[in-house]
C-alpha cells in the first residue's frame, strides 16, 4: 500500500498523492491502515506510544519535550517554573512541547502548556504542521477541542497541503470529524492535488465519513486535478455504501475523469463492478443509473404484501382440504414458497434481501392472515358446534379482540422517536457541549440522526431513527418496539399465546363432540396417523390445518413472552440483554463498564463492505443477520441466546448495579407507566442523576410541594433538566446545555 494516503507519518517524506487509481487495485482488499485500534486511540490511554512520536534527545530527565510527550504536568511545571525551559521552546526539528503533547493525546499537558504561553499555531516538524494538525491526524477529539477553544486555526495547511479537515478525515474517526465540521472551515477545501475531504473519505471507504460530509454540504461533484470526482474515488475502494451514498446525494454518474473514464468504466477496470451494481440497485437504479420502474406504487406494494399472506394461507388450507394429504402437503409448501418468492423477488426486488423484507409489512401480514383464518374457523365451525363452552367462547372472543387491537396499536404507535435538534445552531451547541464534557461519542450522539442519543435508546437501521428505550425491531409488528408501544407489544404477545391455547382447546372440544359421528369409510387408506385421528383430520381438514398452523406459532411466542416478562422484571431491554456480554451493563453510569461508557471512546468503523449503517455504532450488535439460520433465529428471538457471550454477560449483569433497577415490583410498575415510576421521560433521558433516579424524583416532588423561592426553583429546574424533564417547553428541555464553558 505504498501510495496509501491513509497513513500519514511524521518523519516520512511528504507522501500520498492519490496516484492513478488503476495502480491501486491490489491495495483495495487490504485492511485500511487507518484502522487504529480503538483502545490505542483512546485519548485517555497513557500507554499509547509509537516510535515516531518519541523524542530523540537522550537526556530525558529534564527535557520539556519528553515531559510533554508523557503528559507529565508536574515535570512541565517544575521545568518552566525553574526557568530551565519555556513553553515556547523548540527542539532540533523545530517542534514545540505542545506538538508532542498534542500527538500523544495529553490533554492536561496541552492545557498547561497553553496556559504557560505556548503558541497554539506553532509550525514545526518535517511537514511544517501545527499541533492541531498533529492531533487531527490521529483523530484526538479532546485535544482538537481544546486547541480550537484556544483559537487554533483549522484552515492552516501543512507542507502536503492538508488542512485539519483533511487530516481528521484521514484519521477515519467520525466524532472528531463531526466536531470539526461545526467549526469555521470550508467543507470542500482542497489539498495540493485538489482532493476534497469527501474524496479522501470515499477513497478510504469510510462510509460514515462520506455520509457525514455530505450531510454537512460537501459537494459530490467536485473534481480533483486529475479530473476524478468523489464517485471515482469511491469506486477505487469499491465500497458499496460509499458509492450508494454519493449516488443518492446526486453524484453525476456520467462525470468523466481526465482520461474520459466514468466511474462505471473505472469499476470495470478495477473489477469492482459487483459493488457498483449492488450500490446502484440499493439506490433504486439500474446499473446504468436509470431509475428502476416498480410494478406498483410504494403504497400499493405495501398493501399487497400485507394482504398476500391472507390469500395464500387460504389457498394452502384449501389445498390441504381438497387434496389427499401427501400431495396436499407438498403443494401447500410450494404455495408458501411461491408467496415468499412473489414478495421478495417480484414486489420488493431488492438485493439486500433481509433488510428489505424486515422493512416490509410481510410478517405483519402473516400474523394478520393467521388471525383472519383462526377467526373464520372459529366463527364457521367451533362457535356453532361447541355451544356448551359458552364461557370459553366469550373469553376467546375477548382475547382475540384484545390481541388484534394491541397488534394494530403496536404497529401504528410511534415507538418513541427521539427528538432531533431543531436548528444547526442547536446541533452545534449539542456537539460543543458533549465535546466539552468529554463524552462526544457513539453512546451519546447518533451520527445518523445528527442528534443526542438518550440513555437506553438505539438507532434502528430499519426505521432509520433513534428509538427511546429501544427493545428490538420486530418485523412481526412491522415496527420498532420502544418505550411507547412496548406495553401494547407485550399485551399482543400475551393475548396471542392465550388465544392460541383457547383455540386449541375449543378445537379439541369440537372434535370430541364430532368423534361419535365419524364415518369410517372416509378414512384414507394411505393415512399414516392412527385411525381415529385420521378420521378426525379427514372430517374437517381445514380446521385441523388452521389449528396446526396456529399451534406452530406457539413456539416462538412462548419464548418471546417468557423472555419479555423476565426482562421487564429485571428492567432490561432485549438490546441490553444481547449486548451485556460485550459492553457491560446498561446505558447508565452504573457498573463496571463506566470507562467504556463515558470514556473517550473513539469511533472506528470498518472499511469493509459491511461498515455501513449497521457498523455505525461499533458497540451495537448487528441486528442484520445474514444467512437463513441466523435470520430465523433472529425472527424467533432466539439469537440473543446464541450470540456473543450472552451467558457470560448475564452472569455479570447479576452483579452489576443497574441504575434503573427498582426491584421486580417497581420495574413492572415503571414498565406499565413507561417511566413514571422512575420519573423519567425516556425520549429525553441523557444522564443518570448522581443521586439516583428515585432520589431525584423525590427531590423534585418536594420542590413542587414547597413551591419555593427562586433558589429552589432553579434547583428543580436543573434537576429536571438533568434527567431531561423540563416542564414548561419540555419539548427541547433536555437539549439545554447543562454547563456552558
Active-site residue numbers? Answer: 474
* Choice between 313 and 451, CB closer to Zn ion: 451
Q: Does residue 185 touch Zn ion according to CB under 5 A?
A: no
Look at residue 258 and give its three-state secondary structure. Answer: coil
Q: Is the CB of 231 or the CB of 467 nearer to Zn ion?
A: 467
Q: In the complex, what is the shortest distance from the CB of residue 681 to Zn ion, in angstroms, rounded to a whole number?
A: 18
CB closer to Zn ion out of 460 and 502: 460
Q: How far apart are CA 545 and CA 536, in angstroms?
A: 12
Answer for which of 104, 448, 564, 567 binds Zn ion (CB under 5 A) is 448
Smallest distance from Zn ion to CB 617, Å: 9
For residues 455-484, which are near Zn ion according to CB under 5 A?
A: 459-460, 462-463, 466, 473, 480
Size of site (CB under 5 A) for Zn ion: 10
CA distance 438 to 441: 9
Nine-digit cell string for 704: 413542587
Cell representation of residue 723: 434527567
Residue 42 DSSP SS3 = coil
Can you read off the three cell numbers belonging to residue 337?
414458497
- State whether residue 417 is helix, strand or coil: strand
The 294-333 site mask, x for binding Zn ion (CB under 5 A), equals: ----------------------------------------
Write down the residue that cell numbers 445528527 correspond to. 450
| 144 touches Zn ion (CB under 5 A) | no
How big is the CA angle at 82 (ends 77 and 85), to the nearest 5 degrees?
75
With CA atoms as reference, report the closest residue to 338 among 374, 313, 369, 320.
Answer: 313
Site string for Zn ion, 389-428 (x = CB under 5 A): ----------------------------------------
Of 549 and 583, which CB lies nearer to Zn ion in the complex structure? 583
Neighbouring CB atoms inside 10 A of 246's CB total 30
Q: Three-state SS string across 339-353, please?
A: HHHHHHHHHHCCCCH
Nearer to Zn ion, 462 or 546 (CB): 462
CB of 463 to Zn ion, least distance (A): 3
Residue 199 CB, shortest distance to Zn ion, in Å, is 26
For residue 132, give the nearest of 113, 153, 117, 118 by alpha carbon: 153
Give the nearest distance from C-beta 470 to Zn ion in angstroms: 8
Among 446, 498, 536, 656, binds Zn ion (CB under 5 A): 446
Cell of 648: 457470560
Closest CB 212 distance from Zn ion, rounded Å? 13
As measured in angstroms, the least distance from the Cβ of 448 to Zn ion is 5
Concatenated DSSP letters of 565-612 = HHHHHHT--HHHHHHHHHH-S-SSS-STTHHHHHS-PPP---SSTTTT
Question: For residue 105, which of 56, 142, 63 has the smallest C-alpha distance?
Answer: 142
- Of 480 and 506, CB closest to Zn ion: 480
Least distance to Zn ion, CB of residue 462, Å: 4
Which of residues 335 and 466 has its CB atom nearest to Zn ion in the complex? 466
Burial 599-633 (b: 16+ CB within 10 A, else e): bbbbbbbbbbbbbbbbbbbbbbbebbbeeeebbeb
Which is closer to Zn ion, CB of 320 or CB of 577? 577
- Measured distance CA(246)–CA(241) in Å, rounded: 9
Residue from 36, 449, 498, 500 that binds Zn ion (CB under 5 A)?
449
Which residues form the interface with Zn ion (CB under 5 A)? 446, 448-449, 459-460, 462-463, 466, 473, 480
Amino acid at each position: 500500500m505504498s501510495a496509501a494516503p491513509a497513513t500519514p507519518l511524521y518523519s516520512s517524506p511528504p507522501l500520498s498523492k492519490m496516484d492513478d487509481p488503476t495502480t491501486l487495485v491490489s491495495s483495495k482488499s487490504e485492511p485500511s491502515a487507518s484502522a487504529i485500534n480503538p483502545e490505542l486511540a483512546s485519548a485517555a490511554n497513557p500507554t499509547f506510544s509509537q516510535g515516531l512520536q518519541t523524542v530523540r534527545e537522550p537526556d530525558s530527565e529534564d527535557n520539556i519535550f519528553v515531559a510533554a510527550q508523557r503528559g507529565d504536568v508536574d515535570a512541565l511545571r517544575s521545568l518552566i517554573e525553574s526557568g530551565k525551559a519555556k513553553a515556547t521552546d523548540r527542539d532540533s526539528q523545530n517542534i514545540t512541547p505542545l506538538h508532542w503533547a498534542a500527538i500523544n493525546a495529553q490533554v492536561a499537558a496541552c492545557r498547561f502548556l497553553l496556559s504557560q504561553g505556548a503558541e497554539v499555531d506553532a509550525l514545526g516538524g518535517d511537514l511544517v504542521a501545527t499541533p492541531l494538525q498533529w492531533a487531527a491526524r490521529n483523530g484526538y477529539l479532546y485535544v482538537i477541542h481544546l486547541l480550537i477553544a484556544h483559537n487554533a486555526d483549522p484552515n492552516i495547511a501543512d507542507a502536503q497541503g492538508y488542512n485539519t479537515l483533511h487530516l481528521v478525515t484521514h484519521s477515519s474517526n467520525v466524532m472528531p470529524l463531526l466536531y470539526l465540521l461545526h467549526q469555521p472551515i470550508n467543507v470542500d477545501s482542497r489539498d495540493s492535488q485538489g482532493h476534497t475531504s469527501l474524496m479522501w473519505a470515499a477513497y478510504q471507504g469510510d462510509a460514515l465519513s462520506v455520509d457525514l460530509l455530505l450531510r454537512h454540504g460537501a459537494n459530490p461533484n467536485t473534481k480533483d486535478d486529475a479530473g476524478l470526482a468523489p464517485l471515482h474515488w469511491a469506486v477505487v475502494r469499491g465500497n458499496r455504501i460509499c458509492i450508494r451514498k454519493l449516488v443518492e446525494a446526486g453524484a453525476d454518474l456520467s462525470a468523466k475523469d481526465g482520461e474520459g473514464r466514468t466511474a462505471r468504466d473505472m469499476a470495470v477496470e478495477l473489477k469492482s463492478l459487483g459493488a457498483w451494481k449492488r450500490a446502484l440497485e440499493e439506490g433504486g437504479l439500474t446499473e446504468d443509473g436509470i431509475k428502476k420502474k416498480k410494478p406498483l406504487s410504494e403504497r400499493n406494494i405495501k398493501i399487497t404484501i400485507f394482504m398476500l399472506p391472507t390469500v395464500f394461507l387460504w389457498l394452502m388450507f384449501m389445498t390441504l382440504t381438497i387434496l389427499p394429504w401427501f400431495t396436499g402437503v407438498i403443494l401447500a409448501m410450494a404455495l408458501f414458497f411461491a408467496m415468499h418468492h412473489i414478495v421478495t423477488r417480484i414486489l420488493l426486488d431488492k438485493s439486500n434481501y433481509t433488510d428489505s423484507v424486515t422493512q416490509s409489512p410481510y410478517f405483519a401480514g402473516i400474523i394478520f392472515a393467521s388471525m383472519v383464518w383462526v377467526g373464520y374457523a372459529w366463527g364457521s365451525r367451533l362457535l356453532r358446534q361447541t355451544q356448551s363452552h359458552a364461557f370459553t367462547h366469550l373469553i376467546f372472543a375477548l382475547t382475540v379482540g384484545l390481541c388484534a387491537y394491541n397488534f394494530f396499536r403496536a404497529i401504528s404507535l410511534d415507538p418513541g422517536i427521539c427528538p432531533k435538534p431543531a436548528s444547526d445552531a442547536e446541533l452545534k451547541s449539542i456537539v460543543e457541549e458533549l465535546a466539552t464534557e468529554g463524552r462526544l461519542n457513539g453512546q451519546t450522539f447518533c451520527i445518523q440522526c445528527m442528534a443526542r442519543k438518550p440513555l437506553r435508546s438505539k438507532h434502528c437501521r430499519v426505521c432509520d431513527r433513534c428509538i427511546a428505550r429501544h427493545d428490538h425491531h420486530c418485523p412481526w409488528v412491522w415496527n420498532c418496539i420502544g418505550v411507547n408501544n412496548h406495553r401494547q407489544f407485550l399485551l399482543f404477545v400475551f393475548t396471542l399465546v392465550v388465544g392460541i391455547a383457547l383455540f386449541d382447546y375449543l378445537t379439541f372440544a369440537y372434535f370430541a363432540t364430532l368423534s361419535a359421528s365419524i364415518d369410517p369409510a372416509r378414512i384414507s387408506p394411505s393415512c399414516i396417523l392412527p385411525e381415529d385421528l385420521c378420521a378426525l383430520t379427514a372430517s374437517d381438514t381445514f380446521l385441523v390445518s388452521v389449528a396446526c398452523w396456529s399451534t406452530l406459532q406457539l413456539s416462538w411466542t412462548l419464548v418471546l413472552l417468557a423472555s419479555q416478562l423476565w426482562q421487564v422484571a429485571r428492567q432490561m431491554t432485549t438490546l441490553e440483554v444481547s449486548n451485556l456480554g460485550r459492553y457491560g451493563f446498561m446505558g447508565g453510569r452504573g457498573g463496571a463498564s463506566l470507562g467504556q461508557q463515558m470514556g473517550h471512546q473513539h469511533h472506528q468503523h470498518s472499511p469493509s463492505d459491511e461498515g455501513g449503517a449497521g457498523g455505525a455504532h461499533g458497540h451495537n450488535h448487528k441486528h442484520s443477520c445474514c444467512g437463513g439460520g441466523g435470520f430465523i433465529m433472529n425472527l424467533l428471538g432466539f439469537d440473543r441466546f446464541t450470540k456473543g457471550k450472552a451467558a457470560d454477560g448475564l452472569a455479570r449483569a447479576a452483579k452489576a448495579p443497574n441504575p434503573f433497577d427498582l426491584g421486580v415490583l417497581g420495574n413492572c410498575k415503571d414498565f406499565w407507566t413507561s417511566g413514571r415510576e422512575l420519573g423519567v421521560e425516556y425520549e429525553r433521558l441523557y444522564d443518570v442523576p448522581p443521586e439516583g433516579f428515585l432520589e431525584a424524583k423525590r427531590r423534585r416532588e418536594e420542590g413542587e410541594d414547597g413551591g419555593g423561592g427562586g433558589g429552589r426553583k432553579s434547583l428543580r429546574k436543573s434537576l429536571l433538566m438533568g434527567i431531561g424533564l423540563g416542564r414548561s417547553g419540555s419539548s427541547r428541555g433536555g437539549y439545554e446545555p447543562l454547563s456552558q464553558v
